[in-house]
Amino acid sequence: MNDQIPSLASLLPVMGREAWRRRVALAVTFAVIALAALVLGVMWKKKYESASTILVQETNIIQPLMEGRAVPTGVGDRAAIAREVVFGRKVMNEVLQLGGWLADNPSAIEQERRIEEIKSATRIASPRENLIRISYMDSDPERAFKVASSMGELFINESLEAKERESREAYNFVDSQVQEYHSKLTDAEAKLMEYRNKNPDARPGTETDVNARISELRRQADTASMEIMELRSRESALVSQLSGESDVSAVQTRESQYRLQLVELQTQLDRLLLNYTDQHPDVVRVRHQMADLQEAIRLEQAASERRRALGSPMAPTDENAQFNPLYQELKSRLAETRRNIAAIESRYNASSTMLTAELDRSRRIANSENVLAELTRDYEVNRDIYQDLLRRRENARVSMNLDAEKRGLSFRIQEPALLPVQPIGLRFAHFGMAGIGLGLVVPLALLFLLAQFDPRIRTAERLEQVAGVPVLASVPTYTTSRDRLRARFRTMLTVLIVLGVVAAYALLFWLRLAKAI
């Protein structure tokens, strides 16, 4: 058996016959759907929307003049900021009062619920960079207009107040920071001055002076040490020379002088005898002189013997004794060298003492350098921050004055809210057309499903498809007078149902036009 699905051409006659046979049910279905849509349209609340557009003016003639001095309050995500302001408790309370939601003295919970309803009916968007659109939907057009207008005005007022409050708070904060850092700067300066007074070496440039002084003293000590070594060497040389010299160069007595003259005369006699005889006057004269000297030597010896016999001390020297001049010179130089050594050693000791003192001073300066650096760093940091805060405070003062006089970032109503005259969304006509359309489509769809999936055989073609044998003839149904009467009754009932739906639609549309409902 073939279970093929019937074609659309074969379904149309079947659908026509089923529609006629079930015309009352289809009419009732049509009436129910159409009237239900009509009732829903009557009960559907109208929504009226009113919106105001606010222009945010960021640039004006003041901005280029005060650039770098004033900091205007910027607006990043304007829609988000507008929602924060409009949905704030302060603005919502005024909206509740203006819209009449507080007339029945609702409880706090009921107020919160109504605020949530207002928020859900409010749309805040930024269609363009410098525009803010605030819209409100309500079933009452007048209240929608009042609420939208008040929201725009309240947003502007609250934004300007917030900007002014923000500028004032910023100025107060910077001013408090200025006072705090002024105290810190004064304290740091007092500590730095106190430390410098207690530590005279802890002054700028002292370390450089001390290092230069240490270098100079080291140079002097090294020079003195080299001079001492040189003078010590000279002293050793002089001492060595003095050890080889006698204090007295010669000690001559009369006897020695006589003997020396005798030797000279003997030499002269020998020279004369080479040329002359013993009777030569010069030879005789020399011999007489030698004899006189020999007598004088004898007499001197006799005198010396007498002095020794008498125990008389023998004079070490007499007026003919001579001191050694080289010895005296060397001794004088040695004394001078030793004096120079003593002076240079004294100078070396003084330089060493001063060098030790300067080294101790350098260590003290090095130890105090960390403390001084920390105090100086604290002072400089506080000074820089304080000066920067002073500039910021003046900038904040100018910004506060601009916001107080409404000369910075400004808001202006670009498009004021209007009283809506037409509701938005679905209207009564939409529900009426939707009811008629669904009332026609749903019965036809039911007929199509019935003809498509009902297993009963209603046509000869379907019988041939199912049985697989040709159909020679078909016998039509026979209607009696009772059947014809019942058919006319169903037809009249169907017509009445359709006319009733049409009459209901016409009546309700007339009442809507007459604003009776």
Q: What tens digit of pLDDT does each residue of 130-156 get?
A: 788 888 888 778 888 888 888 888 888
Stretch 46-55: mean pLDDT: 81
Return the bridge partners of 54, or none: 132, 413
Locus of tokens 């040695």: 334
CA dist., res. 432 & res. 508, Å (int): 10
Instruction: Locate the domains of the chain by residue range.
Output: 8-44+426-513, 248-322
**Residues 457, 6: contact at Cβ < 8 Å?**
no
Residue 492 confidence (pLDDT) above 80:
yes
Locus of tokens 């002292």: 206
What is the reported pLDDT for 1? 40
CA dist., res. 210 & res. 130, Å (int): 69
pLDDT, tens digit (0-9, with 9 covering 90-100), for 380-416: 888 899 889 888 888 888 877 776 666 655 677 778 8
What is the reported pLDDT for 61? 37
Q: How sure is the predictor about 324, in pLDDT bands with cuts at 50, 70 and 90?
A: low
pTM over 0.85: no
Radius of gyration (C-alpha) of the chain in whole angstroms: 71
Q: 118, 113, 111: which is closest to 135 by C-alpha?
A: 118
**In a 3-state reduction of DSSP, which class is residue 247?**
coil
CA dist., res. 360 & res. 301, Å (int): 78
Of 176 and 478, the structure prediction assigns the larger pLDDT to 176
**In a 3-state reduction of DSSP, which class is residue 494?**
helix
What is the reported pLDDT for 409? 59
What is the reported pLDDT for 2? 43
3-state secondary structure 428-448: HHHHHHHHHHHHHHHHHHHHH
What's the one-letter identity of residue 130? N
Residue 314 confidence (pLDDT) above 50:
no
Of 508 and 246, the structure prediction assigns the larger pLDDT to 508
CA dist., res. 133 & res. 52, Å (int): 6
Average pLDDT, the chain: 76
What is the reported pLDDT for 426? 62
What is the reported pLDDT for 265? 84
**Residues 351, 221: contact at Cβ < 8 Å?**
yes
What is the reported pLDDT for 457? 61
What is the reported pLDDT for 63? 46
pLDDT, tens digit (0-9, with 9 covering 90-100), for 248-300: 554 456 777 778 888 888 888 888 888 878 888 888 888 888 888 888 888 88
CA dist., res. 70 & res. 400, Å (int): 8
Return the bridge partners of 50, or none: 136
CA dist., res. 388 & res. 53, Å (int): 41
